[in-house]
Every structure is written in C-alpha cells, then in structure tokens.
Structure 1
Amino acid sequence: EFFDFSNLDLICPINPEEISNRWLNAYIPIPGQSVKNYPPTVAAFIYRLLKSYTGMAVHGRGFPPFVHTSQLTAVSPNPQLSSCLSIVRICDKPLPGSENATAEIVQREMNNLYEQRDTYDHLALLSAFQAFLMYTMVLFFRLSQGLNPFLRQAMMNLQEFACVTARQGLMCLSEQQHTRPKWESWIIAEASRRTLFTMYLFDSVLSSEDGLPTFLGIELEGLPAVANKTLWFAQTRRDWETAYNIHLAAWDEGSLRINELWPIPEGLDESIVAKRRRRVDSWLEDLDEFGTMLYAVTSCTHG
C-alpha cells in the first residue's frame, strides 16, 4: 500500500499551549483543575504497561500501539523511528554500571531530535515525538535514570514536543464534520492522539514517583477517544474506507470523546448518563489492547 502523507486535512480543536505548560500544574494551580487520584493498583498497572512498551522496543518486538504500521512500512520509513529502534536495542541487558554511559547515547539522540523539532513535516514531527517519548520511557524504565535531572528536563521537552505536534493537528477536519477523511490524515491524527494519551499516562507515573499530584487532562477535552481496532489494523485502503463508512453509520452522533471516560459530572440527568454509558459500551465492542488499557485505567480510577 502506498501512503501519501502530504496535504493532510488536520486541525487542532484544543489549546496546545496548555499541554506544554502541564509540568507547571503541580506548582502553580490553575482554576478548574481536578486532581486525579489513581488507586495504588491502577498506578502499578500503568507502570507495568508502560514498562512493557519499552520492553517491546528494547527486545526488538517493534513499537507499542501508539505507532501505526504505516509509519514503519512506508516506502521510506521515518529515520526518527528506525534510529530509535536501533538505539534502544543497546539497552537490552546493559552491563552493571554501564547504564549511565548507555543513557548518554540516548540523551544525545534526544537532544538532536529536540533541536530539529521546528524543521519536521507532519509525519516526521509525529515520529520524532514518538521516538522522544520512547527514549524518555527507556531512560526511566530500563536505565535507572529516575533521579537524573535530565529526565525532568526531558519531560518538559516532551511536553513541548506534544504541543508542537498538537498544533499541527490532532483531528481531521472530516472527523469534526462527520465525514470520511483521507486515510493518511486519519493515521496521523489517531497516532498523535494515542501518543499524547501515552505521554499523559507516563507523566502521571513520574509525578507519582516525585510525590506530586496528577491532574485530569482537561485540556484534552473534546478529542476523540481511541479508535477501534478494525480501523487501526486495516491493511488496505479499501478495507479502511469500508470500516470507516461502517463507523460513521454506527456513530451518527459523533465518535466517543475522551472526556466521556472521565468522572460523570454531579447532577447530570439520568437519561444523559444512560446514553453516555451506552456509547461507552458500543465503543468497548471493538477495541485493541491500547483502548482496553485506557478504559481499564479510566474505569478503575473514575468508576
């Protein structure tokens, strides 16, 4: 399948600047913020899942489910992702005492990605954001760099990466208009959202490690929740377009939004609550493991 990632029909329906400033939230409270208290079992679940994502890459099993296969199988794969896969392999079974030297190699690559962030096109920017996220998680989960000041700076840079990526678009205009988008536009939008959601989960892990509060990502309100696995794993354009047509018919009032997985506001009319639950039930019927993980986290945290 040939992919053309030019002329993408993307919009950003949220304020991306609030993503880059997220690290400040623990120090300077913002009105309307809601503390997200993960039960210890949920926090442990997130920790283990994200750690497994780094294990996938380190052990050569590819990328976790926030990277779309088209990004790796395109005619000219993105060097940011292919380099990332190669570099993180050196983190497999590092010799005792060699973690810091290995971490320096990873850090150099992260600095290179960050310095070039303003030169990337849509696809390269997303790939760089994903690679930067993987490197940051590898530093924490595989190279014991939790106390390294570089990791805190890396998280600020990661949130800046997320902001720049979001600014380029987190949603297809067609998604907003409830029509079928170009496949490539949808791939970039969906992979961007998945990467963003993963970054937020990782941010909560680090905040917990530092004894800092974690806040509900209200700045993401309105973004579509994770798409179904039929769309995400479609192998051909025809299969994807057919699946999207079915999706449009099934979701005539619009796709599920991420905030529909958040706590139900007090005083909400029972009929609206029932409708929301029906929408979540429908969404659950065709999820991949990433969507299932996200539901497990939100359901066990918010009920």
Structure 2
Amino acid sequence: MIQPSSDSTPDSNNILPNDWLLWNTGPPQSVPPLVKHNMETLLKVMKTWPRTMAKGFQTPPMLHFTHLEPSRTLWPMKNCVTVARMWVSQDDGAAELVRQAALQEMRVLFQQHRSMDERHLLAALQALVMYTVMLMFPGKGQISLSIVDPAIFACLQRVISYVARTGLLLTEERDCIQPAWEAWVHVTGKRRAVFSLYLLHWSYSVYHNLESFACSQLGFMPAPTPKFLWQCETEDKWEELYARWLSQWRDGPYMMSEFAAIQAGIALEQRSERWLEDADELGILFFSIGNTVYPCVEWW
C-alpha cells in the first residue's frame, strides 16, 4: 500500500494560487525568438503524448509502464485512454465532441480528487495532463493553440496544490537512502505529472502572451530521474541500478534549482553533466530550454 510521503520539507507546500496567473497585467510584450522556439518545441513534443499513449507501443515519458498495464490501470487513466483514442481517430469536424468528452472527464476528476486514495490521485493527475493537451489541440490536424477556459487552469492549480500536500519528495530521497521501488515510482510519477503541467502552462502562456507561473516553485524537487531507472521493468533490476546510481549522488540528488547555475557555452559543471548523462526525454526538455524561460529569465 502506498502511503502519503512523510516529507517535511516546507517548500513542498509552496505551490500557491498566484503561481498560475493567466492574465496579462501589463502591455503586450514581444516574445524573444529563442523563447518562441522553446515554446514551440515543447508544444510539438507534448502534443504527441496522447497519441503515444493511445497507440500503446510505449508510454509517454510522464508515465511509468506500470501505470498503463491492463491489470493495474485505474479508472481515471482507463477513461483517459478511451478519450485519447477518440481524439486520435476523430473525423473532420469532430473537435467539439472530443473537447466535450475531455471536459466532462476533467470535471469528474476536479470534483472527486480529494476523496481519492494515493494511487487514484496520481492516475487522476496524469489524466489531467493528457486532457489539457487535448483541450489545447482538440481538432484533427490543428496547427494553432486553442483557448482554454482560465477556470480549467485554476482547477488544475488546486489539484496540484492538493497533490503537493501529499508529498513530492520521499524522506529516503532527501537522506540519500534507497527507497522501495513502488514508493519511488509513485512519487516520481507525481513529480513528472506536475512538471508536465507546468511546462504546458508556461507554453500556453507564452503562445497567448499571458502571464505565467512563478517558476521558482519547482526548485525544491529533484530533476527528472534517469531514463534507465524510470524504464526499468523489474524491481530486482531497479534495486541494482538504483544502488549504483545512488553511489554517484552521495552529495544529494540533482535538484531543479540547479538548472539556474548552467552557463552559456559548450561545457557544463560536474553535477549538471553527471545528471545529463542519464537524462530521459522529459529531462532533456527541461535542459533544452534551460534558463531562457520567459518571463522568468532566471527559472528557479
């Protein structure tokens, strides 16, 4: 049984409502070319995730393979896969039908998330990421980004705040001790879903020239975990690999806040390079946009 994290880090509760402002409080600003490129790259990549999930050959980097195993998939994700398949196979002109299906599922999750156990809460959070992507691109062959009701982002913020209070960092991770595989997969899945929603929100805000969230709120969390750990298919193999990986990080895991120290040029400082050697697709997304996020020029 997965229990809520016992993490007592104060910052784990610091995901606040005003981190999700969706209105522009000043005059329109021009978006620097590099920031625009980063935004477009993120949206191009994340738009593929519902289709990847629906096809079933592999899982998007946000999801662990166990989250979509038929015998383990929980109802929030089962429903999400169904809507994703509808989104993938839709006929021309069916965008509104897909949008309404996604909205209906989101309403259910917004209403019920506080009564869910830990496993269902994670599945709900993961499903909300996918539904958000589908709301941004409801139409077949769509080449622009749709407007999403600001109330949706307000509800997403409340879900993330609630999830943050259940813990986003294991005590074992903080103390550089090997955790149990199931607990690690669970908390890592929560962090990856939170990271993904933040990336979606930032990209949406840049595209529509809206005010984005306060990026500093991610800094207390470890950066996305190594690909070989996240994709490891057995507990025994994961335990072996985690022990080897942990021996490299006795000085503490690489944290999201450390991205701010990355300097221009072709060389990296030691910890950043060590983390990048093992990064997966989600980690590469964060690394590729570096500290150029706008308007948070200094992310963390």
Cα pair 2:7 2:169 within 8 Å, conserved: yes
Comparing 211-220 with 187-196, greater Cα deviation is found at: 211-220
Cα pair 2:66 2:72 within 8 Å, conserved: no
Which amino acid in 2 is paired with 1:51? K
Give the superposition deviation at 1:20: 3.9
Give the superposition deviation at 1:248: 1.7
Aligned equivalent of 2:109, options 110, 113, 117: 113
The change in CA–CA distance for 1:296 and 1:63 in structure 2 (over 3 A counts) is: same
Report matched runs for 1:275-294 at 5 Å: 277-294=269-286
Which amino acid in 2 is paired with 1:298? G
Partner residue, 1:22 = 19
Partner residue, 1:239 = 237
Partner residue, 1:250 = 248
Partner residue, 1:85 = 81
Report matched runs for 1:188-199 at 5 Å: 188-199=186-197
What's the secondary structure of 1:174's corresponding residue? helix
Gaps of 5+ in 1: 30-35, 266-273
The change in CA–CA distance for 1:142 and 1:101 in structure 2 (over 3 A counts) is: closer
Q: Does 1:174 align with 2:172?
A: yes
Cα pair 1:207 1:214 within 8 Å, conserved: yes
Q: Measure the CA separation in 2 of the matches of 1:93 and 1:235.
A: 30
Root mean square deviation of aligned Cα: 2.7
Partner residue, 1:223 = 221
Comparing 246-255 with 38-47, greater Cα deviation is found at: 38-47
What's the secondary structure of 2:247's corresponding residue? helix
Comparing 68-77 with 283-292, greater Cα deviation is found at: 68-77
Partner residue, 2:68 = 72
Partner residue, 1:133 = 129
- 1:83-142 superposed Cα distances (whole Å, 9 cap, x missing partner): 100122111243333211221122111111111111111111011011011111111123
Cα pair 1:58 1:85 within 8 Å, conserved: yes
Q: Aligned residue pairs: how many?
A: 282
Cα pair 1:58 1:92 within 8 Å, conserved: yes
Q: Measure the CA separation in 2 of the matches of 1:262 and 1:26.
A: 26
- 1:224-269 superposed Cα distances (whole Å, 9 cap, x missing partner): 001111211111111111111112211110010011112569xxxx
Gaps of 5+ in 2: none
Cα pair 1:8 1:185 within 8 Å, conserved: no
Q: Does 1:187 align with 2:164?
A: no
Q: Measure the CA separation in 2 of the matches of 1:25 and 1:211.
A: 9
What's the secondary structure of 2:290's corresponding residue? helix
Give the superposition deviation at 1:23: 1.8
The change in CA–CA distance for 1:26 and 1:12 in structure 2 (over 3 A counts) is: farther
TM-score calculated relative to the size of structure 2 = 0.84
Q: Measure the CA separation in 1 of the matches of 2:5 and 2:209.
A: 41
Q: Measure the CA separation in 2 of the matches of 1:295 and 1:116.
A: 35
Q: Measure the CA separation in 2 of the matches of 1:252 and 1:17.
A: 26
What's the secondary structure of 1:262's corresponding residue? helix
Cα pair 1:91 1:102 within 8 Å, conserved: yes
Q: Measure the CA separation in 1 of the matches of 2:239 and 2:4.
A: 16
Which amino acid in 2 is paired with 1:147? I
Percent identity of equivalent pairs: 25
What's the secondary structure of 1:170's corresponding residue? coil
Give the superposition deviation at 1:184: 1.1
